Amino acid sequence: MKRDLTVNLGNLLLSLSEITDIANPSIAQHQYRTAFIALEIAKNANASPQMLKNIFTAALLHDIGAISIEEKAALHSFVEMDYDLHCIRGEMLFARTPWLKPLAKIIRYHHRNWCNWDAPISDPTVFSAQVILLADFIERSIDKGKYILHQNEEITERVIELKDTVLHPELLDCFKDLAKKEEFWLDLLSPRLYSILLHEGPFQKIWIGGGGIATIAMLFSNIIDFKSPYTATHTSGVAACAEKLSALFGLTDLEVTLMKIAGYFHDLGKLVIPNSILEKPDKLTPAEFAIIKSHTYYTYFVLSSIGGLEPIARWAAYHHEKLDGSGYPFHCKANEIDSGARIMAVADIFTAIAEDRPYRAGMSKEAIYKVIRGQSDHNLLDAKFVDLLFDNYDEVYAYVREKQQTARSFYEDQFSNAANTGDS
């Protein structure tokens, strides 16, 4: 296992931003393109380096509060709908993430029209929120089936019509300058956009360590869990269980932190699965289960593209693999599943059957033992870690429950009631 961990912040944010847009071709790259447009407009407006970082980060994650693929697709399509809900939820998610807290108001107001602000455009929050509103509008206006230089003038005209009401005139002047350059539009639709943002974005030289990664992983664990009330505390429980079992197994402090991060990320790929399948109360059809099987593929797909997170990618993404090779989707053999992944598999199944779901109560200790011991007896789970769990059952159970309770309080008291707390 690794002795130290650092990742490039741009690499981390770009890869994670992609997972929320990957599921539906109509929204693919929406946040990348919005971030690119926002960054270029802000540069044209001579924004400070710190402001560029803030705008880039907020734009890359601006729709984080849209919790289902269905909601994201609707937001993208200019249909009449309640835009406030995803802004309020996004604000809440940012506000509980220390490093992103100062950007929470930008997310809250990224759909607020200029005429509804009573603060000046020189206010950093107003300016940033207006830049993202403009960038989001431009991105959604692009007809993806048409060559970009055959539509850029029309898009520019549509944007200029928003002057004074929706957008501040100074911002539109910056955009008009930018819109003259074919290069801007060609970059925007370039298949190389990821690498442009990575190498020319504001984070190309910024690296973060385990604590910073854990903060962002926790944010994503909330997004994964809050997609559905059925699983609103699952990830918090798996992360806590993986953390506890690795500590009891005698891993170092750093390794325990990495396992907690892997736990937060283990179901990252569920962000690609439609809620209609995730929330189906009946047994899944084979066709639906085939879609579910992709979730750990996407967990791996995203995490393995973040330089430095390769072991975490395996520990997170192999939680449905079995020691006899019968798991999914990688069908790893026992020698390909290391201790971290074996612990995660035990943590996932234990948490899933121990936790209450809206449609059933959590299992008793005896029933949990029967299921999990049955799996190790059949060479599906590693007996060593099953023993570790049951030798320390009360301690592990109490720790998992405590962490899940914290997540549930936030979810029930604030997040799921977000629709009633808005002030527009």
Task: Report which of 255, 253, 227, 225 is spatially closest to residue 238, judged by C-alpha positions.
Answer: 225
Nearer to Fe ion, 65 or 210 (CB): 65
In whole angstroms, the minimum distance from the beta carbon of 129 to Fe ion comes to: 11
In whole angstroms, the minimum distance from the beta carbon of 252 to Fe ion comes to: 26
> How far is CA 359 from each of CA 5, 96, 234, 279, 347, rounded to the nearest angstrom?
40, 29, 15, 11, 21
In whole angstroms, the minimum distance from the beta carbon of 203 to Fe ion comes to: 20
Task: Fill in the per-residue mask, 228 to 267: x = in contact with Fe ion (CB under 5 A), - = not in contact.
Answer: ---------------------------------------x
Considering only the stretches 9-17, 136-144, 158-166, 237-245, report the one whose residues sit in contact with Fe ion under the rule CB under 5 A: 136-144
Nearer to Fe ion, 218 or 292 (CB): 292
Nearer to Fe ion, 255 or 267 (CB): 267
Q: How far is CA 3 from the centre of its chain?
A: 26
The size of the interface with Fe ion (CB under 5 A), counted in residues, is 3
Nearer to Fe ion, 72 or 244 (CB): 72
Site for Fe ion in 82-101 (CB under 5 A): none
User: How far apart (Å, rounded) are the C-alpha atoms in residues 151 and 333?
Assistant: 52
Site for Fe ion in 389-418 (CB under 5 A): none
Task: Report which of 26, 24, 51 is spatially closest to residue 38, judged by C-alpha positions.
Answer: 51
CB 380 within 8 A of CB 326: yes
CB 246 within 8 A of CB 256: yes
Q: Do the strands 207-209 and 6-8 form a parallel or antiparallel pair, or are they unpaired?
A: antiparallel
Site for Fe ion in 49-78 (CB under 5 A): 63
CB 299 within 8 A of CB 272: no
Task: Fill in the per-residue mask, 260 to 299: x = in contact with Fe ion (CB under 5 A), - = not in contact.
Answer: -------x--------------------------------
Task: Report which of 145, 170, 167, 146 is spatially closest to residue 158, judged by C-alpha positions.
Answer: 167
Tokens for 85?
A: 């809900």
In whole angstroms, the minimum distance from the beta carbon of 238 to Fe ion comes to: 9
User: How far apart (Å, rounded) are the C-alpha atoms in residues 300 and 318?
Assistant: 8
Nearer to Fe ion, 110 or 168 (CB): 110
In whole angstroms, the minimum distance from the beta carbon of 75 to Fe ion comes to: 5
In whole angstroms, the minimum distance from the beta carbon of 212 to Fe ion comes to: 25
Q: In the chain, what is the straight-line distance between the N-terminal and C-terminal CA atoms, in Å?
A: 49
Nearer to Fe ion, 84 or 136 (CB): 136
Task: Fill in the per-residue mask, 8 to 47: x = in contact with Fe ion (CB under 5 A), - = not in contact.
Answer: ----------------------------------------
Task: Report which of 33, 16, 72, 28 is spatially closest to residue 301, judged by C-alpha positions.
Answer: 16
Among residues 18, 21, 71, 136, which is the contact residue for Fe ion, using CB under 5 A?
A: 136
User: How far apart (Å, rounded) are the C-alpha atoms in residues 197 and 40?
Assistant: 11
- Indicate whether 355 belongs to the interface with Fe ion (CB under 5 A): no
- Residues within the interface to Fe ion (CB under 5 A): 63, 136, 267
